[in-house]
Structure 1
Amino acid sequence: MFVRRDFSGAICAISKTESVDCFEAVGSDSAELLAFLREFQPEVEQSLAESDLQMARVMEDVVNVLIDKSVICFTDLPEAAQSKLMHRKEMRGHFQAISLLDDDDDIKF
């Protein structure tokens, strides 16, 4: 690994390849490098969690397309998957019903 250091000498960037900015080689088992990587672990975990949620929605959309095109039947899915998909559909329906009105909407009866 190659690192770039800030004015105080602390690692501020890393690269797998040597570059103009990251030219100092450090061992992958360097305590300083491992500490730097641990500092960003929550961001990486958050990013992965967000990606997982996005992928779950993609897979849900794929299942719906397959069902709509009669490639599979909803009942072909395991009961656990059916239950989860139905629950998400219900939750999305409730959320959409709540979100129909903006704060600026004025309803007169």
Structure 2
Amino acid sequence: MLFALRDESGNITALTDRNIPGATAVDAADPEVLSFLSLDASAMASATDFLEDSDLSTIRILEDLVDTLVDRQVIRFTDLPPPAQRKLLSRKVARTLNSDEDDRFESVEEDKLFLHDEDQLF
């Protein structure tokens, strides 16, 4: 269940999953809620479709979060399970290959740049 806070004009100013003072219950599919979240209700068939569409951007956010935690020495990259390390490293290489600014891998075969499940890290 979602709860909305509204301004004097009745427009949604915040959404929360808790019933805090001044909040009213709203349906997640309500056009006002979708508008607040900048979602096009006519283009979204279901919540599942939305989740699938947002997976790629969410994955990038999580990759950036891991990078930040490692950079700030909150965690070590090697603290992550080996499959996660392989996946993150492969995605980082793929993003580098996809970058217009970095042409340094042009002479290397792409398949050799990616880590596969059977590859060893160390």
TM-score (norm 1): 0.48
Of the two, which has the highest radius of gyration? 1
Comparing both structures, which one devotes a greater share of its residues to helix? 1
